[in-house]
């Protein structure tokens, strides 16, 4: 975005009732739209793509760092308060990979098919070892992580931070055709369903992103 456009946004869009959502991920945007609608906030949430804001360079080493980086980036360009999400899948037996690199685990950003295929392949040797062990029915645990950061302005020294964790198991094959990302590999034993098999409403009620949204709302001075 040019300097002229940045200045225009900063002078025209200063209302506290407008916040920028620092994401261009279509799956996340759809979930956030539903979650914020359910929250009945007296706020207009503007996806950063509508303001021609490109994705920030995520060079942090944690979900928290990257969420703050993205929020500050969107706020600095727009002149508005901003909310950013950094989320991913952590698998303890892989040293919590793919972690913050979940979206580009296979090397190509946002390619769900390749990312899921790489995760299945990376876990195969561990599954083989389990099959040869005294506990052949052992499962591989995983958790979805979502960290939300909200800044009131680009240099806000006290960002609001919220975190949600969603625990489950990692499947060895895709199951379900809904959701996005690693949802088809994320199994919920209590529900006997994958995240990709849940309705949008059911997923939002228990997911890492739904949990983080509720934590964030509880901290807002509304």
Q: Which residues are catalytic?
A: 86
Say if residue 53 is preceded by a cis peptide, omega within 30 of 0. no
Instruction: List, in sequence order, every beta strand (DSSP E) within 68-129.
Output: 82-91, 97-98
Q: Dihedral (C-alpha) 129, 192, 207, 118: value to the nearest 10 degrees?
A: 30
Q: Could you tell me if 15 and 81 are in contact, meaning their C-beta atoms sit under 8 angstroms apart?
A: no
Closest by CA to 165, choosing from 196, 210, 203, is: 210
| Burial grade of 73 (CB within 10 A; 0-12, 13-18, 19 or more) | buried
In this structure, which long-range contacts are made by residues 133-140, counting pairs with CB atoms below 8 Å and at least 24 apart in sequence? 139/169, 139/170, 139/189, 140/91, 140/93, 140/169, 140/170
Closest by CA to 66, choosing from 74, 57, 58, is: 58
- Total residues found in the chain within this entry: 222
């Amino acid at each position: 975005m040019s300097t002229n456009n940045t200045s225009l946004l900063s002078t025209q869009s200063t209302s506290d009732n407008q916040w920028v959502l620092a994401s261009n991920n279509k799956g996340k945007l759809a979930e956030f739209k539903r979650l914020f609608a359910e929250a009945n906030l007296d706020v207009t949430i503007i996806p950063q793509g509508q303001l021609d804001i490109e994705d920030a360079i995520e060079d942090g080493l944690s979900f928290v760092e990257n969420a703050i980086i993205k929020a500050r980036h969107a706020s600095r360009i727009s002149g508005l308060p901003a909310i950013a999400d950094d989320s991913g899948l952590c698998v303890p037996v892989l040293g919590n990979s793919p972690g913050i690199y979940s979206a580009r685990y296979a090397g190509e950003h946002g390619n769900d098919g390749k990312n899921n295929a790489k995760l299945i392949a990376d876990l195969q040797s561990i599954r083989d070892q389990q099959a040869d062990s005294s506990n052949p029915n052992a499962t591989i645990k995983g958790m979805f992580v979502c960290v939300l950061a909200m800044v009131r302005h680009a240099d806000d020294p006290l960002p609001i931070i919220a975190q949600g964790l969603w625990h489950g198991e990692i499947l060895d094959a895709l199951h379900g055709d809904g959701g996005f990302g690693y949802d088809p590999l994320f199994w919920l034993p209590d529900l006997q369903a994958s995240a990709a098999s849940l309705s949008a409403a059911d997923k939002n009620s228990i997911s890492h992103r739904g949990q983080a949204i509720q934590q964030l709302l509880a901290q807002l001075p509304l």
